[in-house]
Chain A
Amino acid sequence: MQASDRFNINSQLEHLQAKYVGTGHADLNRFEWAVNIQRDSFASYIGHYPLLAYFAVAENESIGRERYNFMQKMLVPCGLPPEREED
């Protein structure tokens, strides 16, 4: 593989990472991955009204409250991030 190609692929990847939230990279850690999955899930719950209604029935809350709760959970979906290892 030529050096220029590698550069090309990398730049493409960077472009994707900038454009699409959640595009992975080689050094992705478990926490980042989980946070991403969780945020995607919550966004999907909010987008699919029948699912929101399903949760609302289970928890005996209004759909509006359920939507708000899911939005709030998107901030810290999997607890606090692990401490950074110093390079």
Chain B
Amino acid sequence: MYLYSLSLQRATGIVCATYGNFVGGKTQEIVVARGKVLDILRPDDNGKLQTLLSVEVFGAIRSLVQFRLTGSQKDYIVVGSDSGRIVILEYNREKNTLDKVHQETFGKSGCRRIVPGQYLAVDPKGRAVMIGACEKQKLVYVLNRDNAARLTISSPLEAHKSHTIVYSITGVDCGFDNPIFAAIELDYSEADQDSTGQAAQDAQKHLTFYELDLGLNHVVRKWTEPIDNGANMLVTVPGGGDGPSGVLVCAENFVIYKNQNRPDVRAVIPRRTDLPAERGVLIVSAATHKQKNMFFFLLQTEYGDIFKVTLDYDSNDHVTELKIRYFDTIPVTSAMCVLKSGFLFAASEFGNHALYQFQGIGQDTDVESSSANLMETEEGFQPVFFQPRKLKNLVQIDEVESLMPILDMKVANLFEEETPQIFTACGKGSLSSLRILRPGLAVTEMAVSQLPGVPSAVWTVKRSVNDEFDAYIVVSFVNATLVLSIGETVEEVSDSGFLDTTPSLAVSLLGEDSLMQVHPNGIRHIRADGRINEWKTPGKKTIVKVGCNRMQVVIALSGGELIYFEMDMTGQLMEIEKREMSGDVACLDIAPVPEGRQRSRFLAVGSYDSTIRILSLDPDDCMQILSVQAVSSPPESLLLLEVQASTGGEDGADHPASVFLSAGLQNGVLLRTEVDMVTGQLSDTRTRFLGLRAPKLFSALVRGRRAMLCLSSRPWLGYIHQGHFLLTPLSYETLEYAASFSSDQCAEGVVAVAGDALRVFTIERLGETFNQTVMPLRYTPRKFILHPKNKTLVILESDMGALTTEERDTNKKEAIEASGSGENGKMYMDEQENGEGEEEKEDPLPDPQYGFPKAPSSKWASCIRVLDPKAGETTCLLELQDNEAALSLCTVTFHDKELGTVLAVGTSKDLKFWPRKESTGGFIHIYRFVNEGRTLELVHKTPVDGVPTALCPFQGRLLVGVGQILRIYDLGKRKLLRKCENKNFPNTITAIHTYGDRIYVGDLQESFHYVKYRRDENQLYTFADDSCPRWLTASLHIDFDTMAGADKFGNIYFMRLPQDVSEEIEDDPTGGKIKWEQGRLNGAPNKVEEIIQFHVGEVVTSLQKASLIPGGGECVLYGTVMGSVGALLPFSSREDVDFFSHLEMHLRQENPPLCGRDHMAFRSAYFPVKDVIDGDLCEQYPTLSTELQRKIADELDRTPGEILKKLEDIRNRII
């Protein structure tokens, strides 16, 4: 078996981010690392974040910084990754790519303890960069420029210190003096030797300054001083004329200002009042805002509260006071960026990212802690308390959806749509949600208006070529035409010159500023000055089809006569040529006039005899047939589209433009054929089934380029995105007819008719594969199942260290009552009073924004939820009591069918992970579905001696994994009855699958075990297991002998029991029991073989088998903690395997990954990659330069077009 791996949704979580002027010019861009993907984002004029570029780097990005050489206008990006290399990137505006400026190797690849890459710091003046590891190694590279003003990088200078753990490094701003880097270091050498533990207790963190002597070209430890032992992060304080220089040391509960030869200035970080006393407050992310004559820092705590830190300093740059003022609360971020334009980009750790706009920069009325009133008592420093409040200084203006983390995923067609839906359980704590993903682009509806009849077609038309916006919307009915003028409002007009007593066939702008209306009996040409020329059809013939562009019009009369008109120099429409076709014309189209030309050369004509012809429109061979293509079904609609895959600029690599003829056939298939620009020959046809209705094709504008709208049983959009032609469904209703629409309010929209309504919509977030429907959940979702018969979901939610909703409500009330004196508290009192009597009062502190209050980690909150996804409502929610947490579930139909299908839920009691995993037991709850499966009713609860971590129905009984024990239970009246058990599993059973009498047991650390149940002897025994240790996180049953699994380190693997062993076991009357009793190497007598191995690079949390396209083959879908969804498609032919493995091989050589990690090494990070071809790498082919594409294509004996077609085809087989 060979698999093709393809990411469908790239990772949506963000690891780290930085910002600067990468494009050059005034705008600021944000560079975000999403694990193995590097993205450049930019807020557009409307404050929406747009992705400029997204590159897969095949490596783990761990740190990012930006720097600028003095006097330069443009910033560079430095990337710290697991490649053992430092990489400096520059954004190339012309090609829209990131160019590797420098790549310097310094160590082994992989995330290792002493190989730098974890930390990056840059001198604020851009003269040097330091790259550090968790321990010991730090390297400094000097940055400079050569005579040609190109960036140069020196050989590395070492600043190592062995036996030292590094917490954070940063550059110190010291103007143009020698660059200094600061590091928080902890020496462990003594603690390792001292058996009394005294040294470990006395271990002291130090702040160390490393000075790079530019003259001597070496690095010295300049200064080191003990600091607070809770220190975890450093923030640079502006210096060199802009401020006092030095660093802010963020420690648990404190922020301390430190600088050489200066006294420390310390202030406490205010605490939330409901925070348990034993918990500290840790700063997890920071942002600096610097203006001409002021600067401040925004520091965010692990609970989401942002504090504004300001420094008071005198003229000698002595810091006199450090103030920490409560600013606002937003979900915890992994990085924050304060842009010059007044935006704050918050890259959330979990859940959606957001863009905020500053409304203020902190009011005086908020709680403030200052170094001036720091109180030290016997128990330590006096804490300062505050209450979070609503957002005051920030306003959210955009949100970027993030699936991170996906904790469980199921694919099913519960809504009976054309394609199945992907249900994902996402988020953590208060940000938990169930998200339903549908393949397709999201659509924003701008307006819907009812029309007086059922319209058949719609067009938009400008008044003049130079107009920016459309002037009219023209709607055609069966016997009339309605003209709407677009202005402040859209209203009907009668002075447009259009004939309104007849239906229309086409409406368009002709020449510079005249309009044309084609109706069944003629062509009406409306000149700009109001003159109207009418051309009437000869005899009783009527016009049936029209094709036109700005200069040319072709009409097809009933009976199959084509008449060609062209506009002459005086602006008159002149008949040029006629041609009789063999039968009626089904459809025709002319491409738009190419820039700088008089006319378009090709006319495409589709006939009912299932052929498509290309006719010439050149004067010398006018209306001659250039080529013919026979198709499988009569064409319904044609569209000639010039695909400039990209001519550079903002969207991909260089490509010559090529003309594609798209044809929607009556059997629902869309054909895309390349038209030779010179001869008009048709070649290289790609087909795709779009839906049950014949696709109608329209041209539309997407980001200023021509794109294609295909209206079948659902609408599709074909457009170019970052060098790829994508054909993606829109998540919208079935539409009849559409036209592009541009007005003041909506620059790039679509106006369409469906039923008796006129709809205007826009398409946003181009390039995304899925659109989401979000339903909030209460706690972190752990697992869920679909109940296909009831069409409901049963979701288990549990949170460690959280209060139950009940406790939280009481606490909230108490807090509000208690804090009557506090300013913040008063506000709530007022609201509480005002809110009385109202049913739904607004929650002053919505949980998703502020998070749940922390509880001791021994406390659990958990619930079982039944959700009807269609209505989006929870039909049943059972909150578990007594510190129980639900961890596993399944539906089971017991032998004794009295209860029908019941739900089994495994719970733990008092579960603890540290210092070692333990619990005081667990329960298996059995629930009956009542009320048509909408509610649950407890049947009974069976105590078990461990945590039931896996449940599975098995031959009318229940298989339970309790720690190391696999058990079979049967249903009793009062509780479950134990029937059979096997205690010999290595660690903890995390997954159970069954097929026939075979049981597949997944262990937490030891991969899968194949188990057989012998009914006659009532025995469970393991007959095969894996030879590799695998920390299983997800599992999927593929077939009788094959299992797919994913481990904690980001690998996906398939394993198969060899055919002969499988047969032997099935044939053996004892079922291999004798062999089992003997055992082998402390394991089962047989070993499974690994047949597939692939490193994804993110923890895979769920695996599913599904087919995402109607009639398509099945593939394995996976969801990861970073919020990405990918697919593994089995190849159906050896030929394809050869082709793609060769393509992959060439791309590995010609297109090494951007961040310096070797592609093969990355995909083989833990185990050598086996029989999987990386589609993400293959899909980088279109982004290569034309020469390189040709070179690779030559090596493969193909043309670049064929390769692109192959790539498109295989993608279309998945989604």
Contact = CB atoms under 8 A, between A and B. Distances in A.
B302 A64 contact: yes
A53 B194 contact: no
B135 A65 contact: no
B334 A63 contact: yes
A47 B62 contact: yes
Interface stretch (B113-121, B259-267, B835-843): B113-121
Interface in A22-36: 22, 32, 35
B118 A46 contact: yes
B292 to A, nearest CB: 32
A60 B429 contact: yes
A62 B304 CA distance: 9
A82 B799 CA distance: 38
Interface string B789-823: 00000000001111000000000000000000000
Given A21-B114, A81-B193, A57 B284 contact: no
A49 B60 contact: yes
Contacts of A6: none
- Please classify how large the interface on chain B is, using the bins under 10, 10 to 19, 20 to 34, 35 or more: 35 or more
Contact of B162 (A21, A47, A48, A84): A21
Tell me if B's interface is mostly helix, strand, loop or mixed. Answer: loop
B349 A62 contact: yes
Contacts of B136: 21
B196 A71 contact: no
B27 interface: no
Nearest to A74: B165
Contacts of B802: 60
A8 to B, nearest CB: 24
A39 to B, nearest CB: 6
Interface stretch (B184-192, B531-539, B595-603, B969-977): B184-192
A64 B913 CA distance: 19
B62 A60 contact: no
B822 to A, nearest CB: 26
B404 interface: yes
A43 interface: yes
A21 to B, nearest CB: 5
Contact of A53 (B191, B285, B801, B1099): B1099
A62 B332 contact: yes
B461 interface: no
A13 interface: no
B800 A59 contact: yes
Contacts of A47: 60, 62, 82, 111-112, 117-118, 134
A30 to B, nearest CB: 14
B1121 A60 contact: no
A68 B13 contact: no
Nearest to B1033: A54
Nearest to A84: B195
A51 B489 CA distance: 54
A83 B195 CA distance: 5
Contacts of B332: 62-64
Contacts of B349: 53, 56, 62-64
Contact of B135 (A35, A43, A51): A43
Interface in B885-935: 913
Nearest to B163: A21
B35 A50 contact: yes
Tell me if A's interface is mostly helix, strand, loop or mixed. Answer: helix
Contact of B113 (A32, A43, A48, A59): A43
B282 A65 contact: yes
A7 interface: no
Contacts of B285: 64
Interface string A66-81: 0010010011100011
B10 to A, nearest CB: 14
Given A21-B135, A47-B82, A60-B802, A54 B1121 contact: yes
A9 interface: no
Interface in B958-1001: none
Residue from A49, A50, A51, A56 having most chain B Cβ neighbours under 10 A: A50
Interface in B746-793: 780
Contacts of A14: none
A68 B282 contact: yes
Contacts of B132: none
Contacts of A49: 15, 35, 60, 62, 1122
A44 interface: yes
Nearest to A53: B1121
Given A54-B405, A81-B195, A60 B799 contact: yes
A76 B191 contact: yes
Given A71-B165, A75-B188, A76-B191, A57 B113 contact: no
Interface in B91-129: 111-114, 117-118
11 contacts: A20-B114, A21-B113, A43-B134, A50-B1050, A57-B780, A59-B800, A62-B282, A63-B334, A65-B284, A74-B134, A81-B192
Interface of A: 20-22, 32, 35, 39-40, 42-44, 46-51, 53-54, 56-65, 68, 71, 74-76, 80-84
Given A43-B111, A64-B349, A68-B232, 19 more contacts: A21-B114, A21-B136, A47-B112, A48-B1050, A50-B1050, A50-B1098, A51-B1049, A57-B407, A60-B428, A62-B282, A63-B349, A64-B285, A64-B334, A71-B134, A71-B165, A76-B200, A80-B197, A81-B192, A81-B193
Question: What 6 A-B pairs have minimum CB-CB distances, sorted nearest first?
Answer: A64-B284, A47-B111, A43-B113, A62-B302, A50-B1098, A43-B134
